[in-house]
């Protein structure tokens, strides 16, 4: 659930740790960590906070978006997975997307499309969906990128998430001439969902939360809009690891 200043005060109490301090503590722990497992746990925890707009100002102040990007450059596939997950969770916000772009994040996100880890590819497709705009299209809509996305769009039932995310990306950004009406409707529904999300009017429905040490793909949908199959094509990612402050 999204939070706000009043709710955060109620949750932490008079003697609780403020959210910005908690995030700072996590960043410090990551910088001081000496083993890969601890780094993975901390980055996954930070990625938990990346879905909530309440945390965005703190994240920019603490350079957490840059930390996510740094993780994508690591050889550790788990750090890459959680790093791109944090980018995907946060980049729907224009200010966050601007930071990611200015820090050279687009090539890093694109390289995740070739990852052997399914979650990493999913998060990369979701991030590109949000990051692609008139000022970044020249860097994203390159032939090699579109080729990879179209291959995922043609995936069979065994890779439904790849297919749905890739098709949503192509519908919105490639403007396929045979599907203009569907593109407009998909974009309208998506923009409505994001707008309502900022006002805490959306319902999260987890596909699986049995093991909270692994990433969980979460459907994001508006309770008053029926979009049928389109709902399956519009995804919002949250990495669920540990507990929130």
DSSP for 18-48, please give it. PHHHHHHHHHHHHHH--SHHHHHHHHHHHHH
pLDDT value at residue 19: 78
Does 184 reside within a domain? yes
Averaged pLDDT of the chain? 75
For residue 80, the enclosing domain spans 5-238
Q: What angle do CA 205, 211, 213 make, to 5 degrees?
A: 105
Does 12 reside within a domain? yes
pLDDT value at residue 156: 76
- Counting the structural domains of the chain, the total is 1
pTM across the whole model: 0.70
pLDDT value at residue 12: 53
CB neighbour list of residue 46: distance below 8 Å, 6 or more residues apart = 23, 26, 27, 30, 64, 67, 68, 86
Which residue's entry shows tokens 């969980």? Answer: 216
Residue 236 β-bridge partners: 218
Q: What is the Cα gyration radius of the chain?
A: 18
Does 244 reside within a domain? no
CA gap 9, 32 in Å, rounded: 29
Specify the length of the chain in residues.
Answer: 245
Exposed, middle or buried by CB within 10 Å (0-12, 13-18, 19+), for 138? exposed
Does 245 reside within a domain? no
Kindly tell me if the per-residue pLDDT of 196 is higher than 70: no
Q: Which helix (H) or strand (E) holds 216?
A: strand 216-221
CA gap 74, 189 in Å, rounded: 36
Does 243 reside within a domain? no
Kindly tell me if the per-residue pLDDT of 15 is higher than 70: no
Does 211 reside within a domain? yes
**pLDDT range class, residue 57, cuts 50, 70, 90:** very high
Q: Give mean pLDDT, residues 2-14.
A: 51
Does 17 reside within a domain? yes
pLDDT, tens only, 133-189: 999 999 999 999 999 999 999 987 778 889 999 999 999 986 554 443 444 445 544
| Between residues 110 and 187, the one the model is more confident about | 110
| Between residues 233 and 106, the one the model is more confident about | 106
Does 98 reside within a domain? yes
Find the CATH number of the domain harbouring 193: 1.25.10.10
């Amino acid at each position: 659930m999204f939070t706000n200043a009043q709710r955060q005060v109620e949750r932490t109490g008079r003697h609780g740790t403020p959210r910005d301090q908690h995030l700072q503590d996590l960043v410090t722990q990551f910088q001081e960590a000496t083993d890969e497992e601890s780094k993975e746990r901390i980055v996954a925890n930070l990625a938990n906070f990346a879905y909530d707009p309440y945390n965005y100002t703190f994240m920019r102040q603490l350079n957490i978006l840059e930390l996510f990007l740094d993780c994508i450059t690591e050889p550790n596939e788990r750090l890459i997975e959680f790093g791109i997950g944090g980018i995907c969770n946060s980049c729907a916000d224009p200010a966050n997307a601007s930071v990611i772009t200015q820090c050279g994040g687009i090539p890093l996100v694109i390289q995740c499309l070739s990852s052997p880890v399914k979650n990493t590819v999913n998060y990369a497709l979701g991030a590109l969906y949000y990051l692609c705009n008139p000022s970044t299209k020249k860097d994203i809509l390159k032939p090699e990128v579109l080729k990879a996305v179209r291959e995922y769009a043609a995936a069979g039932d065994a890779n439904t998430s790849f297919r749905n995310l890739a098709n949503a990306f192509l519908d919105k950004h490639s403007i396929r001439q045979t599907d203009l009406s569907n593109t407009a409707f998909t974009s309208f529904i998506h923009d409505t969902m994001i707008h309502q999300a900022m006002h805490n009017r959306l319902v999260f429905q987890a596909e699986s939360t049995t093991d909270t040490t692994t990433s969980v793909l979460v459907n994001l949908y508006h309770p008053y809009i029926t979009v049928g199959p389109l709902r399956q094509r519009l995804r919002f990612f949250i990495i669920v690891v540990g507990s929130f402050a």
